[in-house]
């Protein structure tokens, strides 16, 4: 699943750059470029957070920093 999300995110990222290059080369029209860039941008913003979270961000208690140190009684030390 994570590989599929990564592939879709990278494809969306390429989809935000490629249409402008295709327009520059005269291969697509401006409305086609705008539509494809909008679609790729929406896909990127939907999929990228899942890619960036990955497996290490799920199910963790983020209430305390990872680098905090506690003493034998469980109290935080500085």
Q: Give 18-43 pLDDT, tens digit per residue.
A: 999 999 999 999 999 999 999 999 99
Domain membership of residue 23 (yes or no) is yes
Domain membership of residue 70 (yes or no) is no
In the prediction, which pLDDT does 64 show?
53
In the prediction, which pLDDT does 69 show?
76
- Considering its fold, how many domains does the chain have in total? 1
pTM reported for the whole predicted model: 0.64
pLDDT tens-digit readout, 35-77: 999 999 999 999 999 888 875 555 455 555 555 677 777 777 7
Q: How far apart are CA 16 and CA 5, in angstroms?
A: 17
Range(s) of the domain holding residue 47: 2-55
Question: Would you state the structure tokens that stand for residue 28, as one six-digit string?
Answer: 């697509």
Confidence of residue 13 (pLDDT cuts 50, 70, 90): very high
Domain membership of residue 11 (yes or no) is yes
């Amino acid at each position: 699943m994570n590989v599929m999300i990564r592939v879709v995110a990278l494809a969306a990222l390429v989809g935000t750059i490629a249409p402008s290059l295709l327009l520059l080369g005269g291969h697509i029209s401006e409305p086609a470029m705008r539509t494809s860039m909008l679609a790729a941008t929406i896909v990127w913003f939907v999929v990228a957070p899942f890619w960036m979270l990955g497996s290490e961000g799920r199910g963790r208690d983020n209430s305390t920093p990872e680098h905090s140190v506690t003493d034998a009684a469980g109290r935080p030390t500085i």
